[in-house]
Amino acid sequence: MEVWEVFSRRTTDDPLVHVGAVKAPDLDMALLLAREAFLRHGEGVDCYVTQRGDLHRISMPQTLGRGTDKSYRRPDGYAKIGAKHKKMREEIAAKGLAIPGERPPTSRRSDG
């Protein structure tokens, strides 16, 4: 009996996620058991199985991306950008240097 690792995605837009494993003698039985074990409440839109021996793992050393400051690779590296823009907007307004012109409601902006 082989161990089969089971993967599924919640909706078609989602990535494939590992949901568990089943033991089964062949592929058809593995798919059947996987479906019954992990997807009978409609948890996902599809189901994949692969034999455990066909999965190969690499563990990520702690130093990868952490040894030196690499915050510029992550959004938190620019966490205060909204406040920076606001501060500058106020300074420019106080100096009367803002470009005049009607603005649409801010709620319609899409970069929030």
Shortest Å, Cβ 98 to other proteins: 6
Three-state secondary structure of 54-81:
HCCCCCCCCCCCCCCCCHHHCHHHHCCH
Q: Specify the 3-state DSSP secondary structure of 7.
A: strand
Q: Is 63 in the site for other proteins (CB under 8 A)?
A: no
Min CB(45)–other proteins separation in Å: 9
Residue 105's identity, in one-letter code, is P
Contact region for other proteins (CB under 8 A) — 17-25, 36-44, 54-62, 71-79? 71-79
Please state whether 18 falls in left (phi above 0), alpha (psi between -120 and 50) or beta.
beta
Task: Tell me which residues touch other proteins (CB under 8 A).
Answer: 12-15, 70, 72-75, 77-78, 81, 84-85, 88-89, 92-93, 95, 97-104, 106, 108-111
